Structure 1
Amino acid sequence: MILSVFFSSIQKSFWDLVIFCRYPLILVLVMVSTTSCRFDAYPTLLAKDGVLDASTANFSGETINLTGKWEFYWNEFLDPKLESPKQKSYLKVGVPWFSQENEDGENYPSFGFATYRLTVILPDSPNTEGEPLAVLIPVLHSAYKMYVNGELVAENGTIAKTAKDHKPSFHIKIIPLSRVSKKLDLVIHISNFSHKYAGIHGIIRFGKLQNIIRIWNVNNTITWVIMIFMLLLAAYHALVYFINRSERNALRMAFVYLGILILSSTLIETKILFNLFPDEYCVSLFRLSRLGFVLIMYFGAYILLSLTQMRFFKRMIVVLKIYALLFAGVAIFTPISHLAEISFHFEFLSTIFVFLGLFSVSLAMYFQRKQSRLYFFSLLLAIIGGAIDLFLIVNPNFGYRPMGLVSLYFFIFPQTLGVTLGLVRVYKRSESLSKELYKRKEALEKKVKARTMELEKANRWKANFVSLISHDLRSPLNSVNQILDVIDFSFAESTEVEKKKFLEICKTGVTQSLRMLEQLLDVSRFDAFGTKLIQTRFSVNDLLNEIIESVEPLATLKGIRIQKDTPIQAEIIADRTLIGEVFKNILTNSIKYSYLNSEVWVGVSYKGKWLAVEIRDRGLGMSEEQIHKLTGEENIKSMPGTAGERGTGLGLQLCMNILEAHFGKLRIKSVLGVGSAFEISLSKSTKSVLLVDDSGNFRTDLAEVMRRNQWIVIEAGNGEEALSHLSRITPSLLITDLQMPGMNGISLIHEWEGRRHQNQKIPIILVSSDAPLSGGEKFLEEEGLETIVSAYFSKMYKAEDLCQQIESILD
């Protein structure tokens, strides 16, 4: 047992740790896998003093990168057919020349012109099987001419020694080399008067033509996939916003993806847009790339700074707006000769907002804002990815290429995940609410329909009752009135026998009228909200004895014997007065329609879960059609009894309504001319519950379920009404709501505890919509009810589940 608890504790702690670290674990895995894909072939083949020894390279399936130190001649265009000058300087390629120092220890300026030169020593047979070699030339900022062994093989843009004659071009080219010996002499003239990053900033690849084309196709395809993906993500986030207008961050992320789309098409090594358009659009596309950066910076930083919802960061958002507008103005209107320099400073200052965003997200995580952990780790890894990129740019010979926009993907993809999960949660919540509303609507419609039918039935029945009562009351009262007129007119001439006869007739008429009025008062207890039951626990045998005693004079007048067969002592919980009315009504009818000098049999027995009270007579009996009419809703007229007795014809319907309110049953068996048998079935269960709640819907639903589980349910709408019931009956269980108008649940419990006798202790269940789905013991301890209340349950459970939990507590 101890080991089981120990291992389960370790397992729980492990999974808690995994859940806490899920974001950094996933993102580190993505970072490592992405970085590993950027490994370049032959990282150790580096040029030294303008010479690259590739005599041992295998060109069959690989390419080599022409990295290392090349010969470099500042502000000179050397003749490619002549030997190199004796005075030489060397410069690393893959890094712009403005970030490197000359012999005097000063950095080269961005604007100017120069010559790069490299000698490549090839294997004895570099182009085996007659396959040509080729070079893949990336963007060499920003115009160049390339010579191989003294021959011009490529030209991009217009090189010049002045900004006036210079024309930039950002095209990428694949140059096949038809005649290559063991030695390859590369000379590149470059001029730059338009871009901050000047010189051979990219990596020139050299190898077989088919391998070069394969590399280009792969890189080009990947770039197109990324661009299409960014476009789809931008459209997706815009759609999320239009679906749910509260998701404003989704719209901001759409603009972030649009900015990444622009950068992917203009800054990645493939330079898709620059290759699609001629050189006349080069400057415009360069300005567009700056606008893409502005979009990413503004909307990405806006999301991060608004996460904490603090006043300081709200002010920073205002500063961010001004900064983004200025940056956009610079990108659009600044002359090309100054655009690169000014935009470079704006890009550098943008790191301030990156670190402000990290600070904002850190505070948001401290304050446990929504999705703050996801933002924190994604932004942190994006910063780490950017730092790694800077290191790889400065050290192109390290063997890895910069990740470029991959570090930015670390930030945006988790946000997409967060937006998507938020949308899914909203959708699921909306779907759940829709289903719940639909179910409630259906249930409400059913309840309204059933209640409407009940009201219509009750109204028809009451209307018919009043109509028949008025008719039947009028007849005996008219007779009494006429007889009194006769007595008044001829009182002196009438004999004593006649006077006594007249008085007997008047008494019979008045008695019949009083009985009808009593029935009318009983009917008044059936209102629009159903029967108001005053339930108590009583002996059925004692009640039957009282009823038989009250109707015995009627039976004696007709010579009818009432025979009892009650071998069991049965107790039930019900409204004693109304159940007595049922017994009296049916027993009176049996006497009414029995033949003279016959007998009526009354028996009590158990039948399964029911207590059966059976009354049989030997009288007129009924046909199936008459029984159907009696138990239906049709207007019927009472038939006279065997001695001419009259009635309303509604006594049996009144009995059936009373039994229906008690969830009882009435079965009628009859043979015309032989007699009838009436079986009254009542629940023999004494498992009773007093259900106290001011919510009629909750009370009705739970009461219906508990009655199906053989509970006698006594309902009360507030604490005062519950105490009234408790003064008459002690139920098996008390269920009360916590919050009710007037006397709440806690007050009711304390009041009951103060009033009850020592032998009246019953289990108490407290329910509330504020209660937790589990662990309500703490609340009971705080209220000092832990020894009085058995359980504290939430009303959010379904009625069936709540009933099951209540019964499990009692068991």
Structure 2
Amino acid sequence: MIFRVSFSSIQKSFSASVKFCRYPLIFGLVLLFTSSCHLELSPTLLAKDGVLDGRNLKFAEDTVNLIGKWEFYWNEFLDPNAPSPNNRSYMQVGVPWFSQQNEDGEEYPSFGYATYRLTILLPEGESNQEPYALLVPVLHSAYKIYANGTLVAENGTIGKNSETHVPSFHTKIVPILNGKEKVDLVIHISNYSHKFAGIHGIIRFGKLHNIIQVWNNYHSASCIILIFMGILSIYHALVYLINRSEKNALRMSFVYLGILILSATLTETRILFNFFSDDYCIPLFRFSRIGFVIVLFYGGSVLLNLAQMRIFKKMLVLLKVYSLTFLLVSILTPVKHLALISYYFEYLSAIFVLIGLFSVSLALYFQRKESKLYFFSLFLAVLGGVIDIILISHPNFGFRPMGLFSLYFFIIPQTLGVTFGLVRVYKRSESISKELYKRKEALEKKVKARTAELEKANRWKANFVSLISHDLRSPLNSVNQILDVIDFSFSETSEEEKKKFLEICKTGVTQSLKMLEQLLDVSRFDAFGTKLMQTRFSVNELLNEIIESVEPLATLKGIRIQKDTPIQAEIIADRTLIGEVFKNILTNSIKYSYLNSEVWLGVSFKGKWLSVEIRDRGLGMSEEQIHKLTGEENIKSTPGTAGERGTGLGLRLCMNILEAHFGKLRIKSVLGVGSSFEISLSKSTKSVLLVDDSGNFRSDLAEVMRRNQWIVIEAGNGEEALSHLARITPSLIITDLHMPGMNGISLIHEWEGKRNQNQKIPIILISSDAPLSGGNSFLEEEGLETIVSAYLSKMYKADDLCQQIEMILV
């Protein structure tokens, strides 16, 4: 036993630890994946004054990044075979030339042409072995490379103006046949089509087989990423098709599509550019901007919708306009302006990233759904972007920038979140299926139970009618006989005798009328419970009316009715039927009280109940008699203390009425001393009008709400609900969306048109078609978003649905 308890506590502690550390674990996995794919550290060797000393490097094992300061000649194409001129200057490679300054402190413009020159000193004894090679990224945006005076690579067409310049975004492996102990690299570059100009990427140098291996690694990683993004895009689209309420899944599908476009055009391998000729360079560049717009708009939509606040909905409209403008700029702007304009649009997009971060922060503060996951992943994405900027600005670190991998910090946690959500949906569906099966079994049991109740009620009614017929026959026969006597000897009968006979006839007819009234009440209150006509009323006023109606009967027997009602109490119930209960019990108390005694009546609160107690001093009852009165067996009427007769079924009728009101009747009695009847009714004033054409669902939910101290008024359709609303103002209206005749939407519109300004009642709409979360956008189309408090699914269990309703009303 001790071992079992210890193991259970260890298991709980482990689960709690995993739950607490789940986001750091995700971060660690993403970082590990990213590091293995992209954060490679090459030997850090900086070029100084245009010379890179690699004589001590082992090129058979490693490659080297050609970073540091190269010779730089602005607006010149040097002769690659001529020695370096004296007017040399130096430029840091790995960053664009527009971010650097010349000797006069002036920044270089983006558009122009230049020559880069670097001398690489090689290790001794390796000159006649395997050839060297260069891995050349996109150098923005046309170039020629010379090695020791020989042209070894050409990309696009270099020119001294935009008319002669033809851009190219290809990446290349450039073999260098070398027979010397150094390599003199000369690169002519021109740029008139892109904001980032010069040797912006990092050229890698090494033995040919190592360069090919590096290229294969990059290319394989890029292909895997493209396939992964495509699968994720399709996966999220399928998630949306499975569960239409998951709109974020559809948005994320487009985000992955946009990242796929960016990965195919912006990562170092430039896969799409390498697949096509230079004629498609500018169209592909425009295509990459479209991918950026897709990521911006749909990613921003996910973040701005998370906080569920109006201000962010306005921001979403602004984002839509901004994205559409960016899209038109990317498609229609002339080439010579495209790079500069799109550059500013990209940087301005950071504003929406900050707004999205603010939205997610507020969502986290208000504890919105999935807010922790979004905040954590967006924080990582921003962190990755900051790291990118630092690495791009400082290539001397030796690390290559992560590039699009900062976006993966964002999307991978989202994929995990959507997957977990889908798993929860499937688990919920499985749970609902099981619940439906259980409900089916429970429904079959209820049908059997209701059938048995109906048969019992029919037997009870048959017995009741039999007893009424018997009791009605006796007084009517007596009346008929007396009338025969009067008719036979009318002239011989004295006036006093005639008066006596008429009093007897009047008493018999009055008694028969009372029995008929009771029969009518029972016919209204059928086996399944009456359709209660509930209103809010004063119990004290009703008791005063009942006392006034039975006062003559009490006076005839010399009985005093003593009332003790120190409180003013109001309840919600069927006033007529509750009055029948009070009248029946009070009449019975008078009927079975001794002459010249008293009947005491009191009203008080007992916890959640309103108690009305009636005590008499009369015949009293034994435990067996009480059991028979409250049971189902047929009973024989017992005469009152003055010989009054009855059916014996009035008390059972009272109990049925109280049961329909979820009330109680307690009886205490002592033979020869008297009886006490305590009627308990709920004092709750929380009332709900429950409108649904499904009797089973309505009765199940009504029963749960009544257990939670709600006064439930049921209606089977919209017309019946409006008739209830004409008599009472409930605290809440719950209505089904789909009903025959007047549906839920029509009922709400009808009620809004009829109600007074002071009758503002919360309304909850329910439907079996409603998703388990969200899906209430149609309320805006109907103009009901400010009227309907919530739209809930009927697929929840009655207890869960009642809990959600009470949470909404808090």
Q: TM-score, normalised by structure 2?
A: 0.57
Name the amino acid aligned to 2:30.
V
Residue in structure 2 matched with residue 60 of structure 1 by the alignment: 60
Name the amino acid aligned to 1:284.
P
Q: Is the 8 A contact 2:44 2:64 kept in 1?
A: no
Distance apart, 1:448 and its partner CA = 2.8
Residue in structure 2 matched with residue 388 of structure 1 by the alignment: 387
Equivalences for residues 387-536 of structure 1 within 5 A: 387-448=386-447
CA distance in 1, matches of 2:323, 2:289: 11
Residue in structure 2 matched with residue 123 of structure 1 by the alignment: 123
Distance apart, 1:377 and its partner CA = 2.0
Q: Is the 8 A contact 1:71 1:116 kept in 2?
A: yes
**Secondary structure at the counterpart of residue 437 of structure 1:** helix
The one-character-per-residue Cα deviations of 1:1-50 (angstroms, maximum 9, x if unpaired) are xxxx9xx9999999878745642553256336634764445442111111
Distance apart, 1:725 and its partner CA = 6.7
**Secondary structure at the counterpart of residue 60 of structure 2:** coil
Q: Verify: 1:133 aligned to 2:75, yes or no.
A: no
Equivalences for residues 568-579 of structure 1 within 5 A: none
Residue in structure 1 matched with residue 278 of structure 2 by the alignment: 279
Q: Verify: 1:94 aligned to 2:36, yes or no.
A: no
Q: Is the 8 A contact 1:136 1:206 kept in 2?
A: yes
> More displaced, 27-36 or 339-348?
27-36
CA distance in 1, matches of 2:632, 2:170: 104
Name the amino acid aligned to 1:308.
A
Distance apart, 1:746 and its partner CA = 13
**Secondary structure at the counterpart of residue 154 of structure 2:** strand
**Secondary structure at the counterpart of residue 389 of structure 1:** helix
Residue in structure 2 matched with residue 366 of structure 1 by the alignment: 365
Name the amino acid aligned to 2:373.
L
Q: Is the 8 A contact 2:169 2:273 kept in 1?
A: yes
For structure 1, the residue ranges without an aligned partner over 5 or more in a row are: 464-526, 530-570, 583-691, 695-714, 730-739, 748-765, 772-793, 798-811
Distance apart, 1:292 and its partner CA = 0.9
Residue in structure 2 matched with residue 340 of structure 1 by the alignment: 339
CA distance in 1, matches of 2:122, 2:348: 46
Residue in structure 2 matched with residue 201 of structure 1 by the alignment: 200
Distance apart, 1:575 and its partner CA = 6.5
Name the amino acid aligned to 2:135.
L
Distance apart, 1:177 and its partner CA = 2.2
The one-character-per-residue Cα deviations of 1:377-430 (angstroms, maximum 9, x if unpaired) are 221221121111111101111011111111111122222222222222222222
The one-character-per-residue Cα deviations of 1:767-791 (angstroms, maximum 9, x if unpaired) are 94699xxxxxxxxxxxxxxxxxxxx
Name the amino acid aligned to 2:345.
F
Closer/same/farther in 2, CA of residues 353 and 187 from structure 1, 3 Å limit? same
CA distance in 2, matches of 1:219, 1:580: 86
Distance apart, 1:159 and its partner CA = 0.8
Q: Is the 8 A contact 1:306 1:313 kept in 2?
A: yes
CA distance in 2, matches of 1:14, 1:172: 50
> More displaced, 12-21 or 103-112?
12-21
The one-character-per-residue Cα deviations of 1:76-126 (angstroms, maximum 9, x if unpaired) are 111111111122111111111111111111111111111111111111233
Name the amino acid aligned to 2:99.
S
Equivalences for residues 580-659 of structure 1 within 5 A: none
Name the amino acid aligned to 1:47.
A
CA distance in 2, matches of 1:29, 1:221: 20
Closer/same/farther in 2, CA of residues 420 and 127 from structure 1, 3 Å limit? farther
Closer/same/farther in 2, CA of residues 280 and 572 from structure 1, 3 Å limit? farther
Residue in structure 2 matched with residue 34 of structure 1 by the alignment: 34
The one-character-per-residue Cα deviations of 1:275-319 (angstroms, maximum 9, x if unpaired) are 111111100000011111111111111221222222222221121
Q: Verify: 1:723 aligned to 2:665, yes or no.
A: yes
**Secondary structure at the counterpart of residue 176 of structure 1:** strand
Q: Is the 8 A contact 2:44 2:65 kept in 1?
A: no
Distance apart, 1:728 and its partner CA = 11
Q: Verify: 1:44 aligned to 2:47, yes or no.
A: no
The one-character-per-residue Cα deviations of 1:707-751 (angstroms, maximum 9, x if unpaired) are xxxxxxxx966654x42477799xxxxxxxxxx99547999xxxx
Q: Is the 8 A contact 1:41 1:63 kept in 2?
A: no
Closer/same/farther in 2, CA of residues 167 and 332 from structure 1, 3 Å limit? same
Equivalences for residues 280-295 of structure 1 within 5 A: 280-295=279-294
The one-character-per-residue Cα deviations of 1:580-622 (angstroms, maximum 9, x if unpaired) are 999xxxxxxxxxxxxxxxxxxxxxxxxxxxxxxxxxxxxxxxx
> More displaced, 269-278 or 303-312?
303-312
Closer/same/farther in 2, CA of residues 578 and 326 from structure 1, 3 Å limit? closer
Residue in structure 1 matched with residue 353 of structure 2 by the alignment: 354
Name the amino acid aligned to 2:27.
L
The alignment's C-alpha RMSD in Å is 4.4
The one-character-per-residue Cα deviations of 1:330-372 (angstroms, maximum 9, x if unpaired) are 1000011100001111111111111111111112212222222
Closer/same/farther in 2, CA of residues 10 and 363 from structure 1, 3 Å limit? farther
For structure 2, the residue ranges without an aligned partner over 5 or more in a row are: 463-525, 529-622, 635-654, 672-678, 687-704, 711-796, 801-810
Q: Is the 8 A contact 1:49 1:70 kept in 2?
A: yes
Q: Is the 8 A contact 1:308 1:360 kept in 2?
A: yes
**Secondary structure at the counterpart of residue 306 of structure 1:** helix
Q: Verify: 1:84 aligned to 2:84, yes or no.
A: yes
Distance apart, 1:52 and its partner CA = 0.7
CA distance in 1, matches of 2:446, 2:169: 75
Q: Is the 8 A contact 1:47 1:69 kept in 2?
A: yes
Q: TM-score, normalised by structure 1?
A: 0.57
Q: Is the 8 A contact 2:127 2:178 kept in 1?
A: no
CA distance in 2, matches of 1:73, 1:195: 20
Q: Verify: 1:330 aligned to 2:272, yes or no.
A: no
Name the amino acid aligned to 1:123.
P
Name the amino acid aligned to 2:363.
A
**Secondary structure at the counterpart of residue 665 of structure 2:** helix
CA distance in 1, matches of 2:632, 2:42: 105
CA distance in 2, matches of 1:331, 1:741: 76
Q: Is the 8 A contact 2:143 2:155 kept in 1?
A: yes
Distance apart, 1:187 and its partner CA = 0.9
CA distance in 2, matches of 1:576, 1:326: 85
Name the amino acid aligned to 1:385.
G
Larger radius of gyration: 1
The one-character-per-residue Cα deviations of 1:517-546 (angstroms, maximum 9, x if unpaired) are xxxxxxxxxx989xxxxxxxxxxxxxxxxx
CA distance in 2, matches of 1:581, 1:219: 90
Q: Is the 8 A contact 2:127 2:181 kept in 1?
A: no
The one-character-per-residue Cα deviations of 1:189-227 (angstroms, maximum 9, x if unpaired) are 111110111111111111222211111111111111111
Closer/same/farther in 2, CA of residues 727 and 34 from structure 1, 3 Å limit? farther
Residue in structure 2 matched with residue 735 of structure 1 by the alignment: none
Name the amino acid aligned to 1:191.
S
Closer/same/farther in 2, CA of residues 64 and 180 from structure 1, 3 Å limit? farther
**Secondary structure at the counterpart of residue 723 of structure 1:** strand
Q: Is the 8 A contact 1:141 1:170 kept in 2?
A: yes
Residue in structure 1 matched with residue 308 of structure 2 by the alignment: 309
CA distance in 1, matches of 2:34, 2:86: 45
Closer/same/farther in 2, CA of residues 574 and 448 from structure 1, 3 Å limit? farther
CA distance in 1, matches of 2:147, 2:632: 119
**Secondary structure at the counterpart of residue 390 of structure 2:** helix
Closer/same/farther in 2, CA of residues 394 and 458 from structure 1, 3 Å limit? closer
Q: Is the 8 A contact 1:140 1:198 kept in 2?
A: yes
Distance apart, 1:75 and its partner CA = 0.8
Q: Is the 8 A contact 2:626 2:667 kept in 1?
A: no
